[in-house]
Amino acid sequence: MKQIEAKNIDIIRRPGTWRHRWIVWLVALVVLCGSWPNVCGAPESRSDEYSEKEYQVKAAFIYNFMKFIEWPKETTGRDADGDETPREPKKDDDKKDEPITIGIVCDNPFGKAFEPIIKKKIDNKNIVIQQFGCIEKYKARAKNKAKYKEEYMAEYGKALKKCHVLFFHATKGHNYHDFVELVRDSSVLTVGNMKDFTAKGGIIGFVVEKKKVRFEVNLTAAKRANLKISSKLLRLAKRVIEEKKATEDKR
């Protein structure tokens, strides 16, 4: 099993705020997925694309991603390192009670994996899951079949942009590029599990290698979306893409 560098372990084990415990939890999750592939990684047979255990792990990753990403002008009350930060009172604070929204586009491979997640909170904000239909299936009820994509985006575009996270599942015939392009400047964390997701503009992409669930980060796309990702989270990534340059994690 590949080992995480000792210097990183030293940093995250220093006593301090709760953020260190979350980093330890994330590291443990990564190590667990490397040590027990049949629990955290892909099953022996990939015939079941919707692997229950695999997506339990991915749901847990998504929850922890949100702990170490800073959204602009949000009232989550924490910075990208997980620190609680003081907030100045706002005249217009209508969004303070809005939940953290995880949108799932097209097929939902998670099953019940998010059930324990939605019972948790981030800075006293509830977490909700919002399902969006496939853009290809929308064509059947579009008024103008030639412009079904435009109609779909007109109907759901605003709701898509209001999500904190959008997850895209690798489904045959599903074109996620239109969605990524739609929200690229809307401070939405795009997460996908299809091949080359980050290389094609997605922010975080899951990869399964040798039955281990890992993730890649497109830092350039994150900066374009005005999202600040903690350096501690970046250290756990398999690969970080920035300005067309890829830095491989040599663990």
Per-residue HEC secondary structure of the chain comes to CCCCCHHHHHHHCCCCCHHHHHHHHHHHHHHHHHHCHHHHCCCCCCCCCCCHHHHHHHHHHHHHHHHCEECCCCCCCECCCCCECCCCCCCCCHHHHCCEEEEEECCCCCCCCCCCCCCCEECCEEEEEEEECCHHHHHHHCCCHHHHHHHHHHHHHHHHHHCCEEEECCCCCCCCHHHHHHHCCCCCEEEECCCCCCCCCCCEEEEEECCEEEEEEEHHHHHHCCCEECHHHHHHCCEEEECCEEEECCC
Give the domains, in start order, of the chain with CATH numbers. Answer: 6-85+96-243 (3.40.50.2300)
Amino acid 210: pLDDT: 80
The pLDDT of residue 240 = 96
Which pLDDT tens digits describe the chain residue by residue (251 residues)?
Answer: 333 333 332 223 333 454 555 555 555 555 445 433 444 444 434 445 448 889 999 999 999 999 999 999 653 444 555 554 433 444 445 566 789 999 999 889 999 999 999 999 988 899 999 999 988 888 888 899 899 989 999 999 999 999 999 999 876 656 788 899 889 889 999 999 988 899 999 999 999 888 789 999 999 999 999 999 999 999 999 999 997 544 555 45
pTM, two decimals, is 0.74
Residue 7, pLDDT score: 31
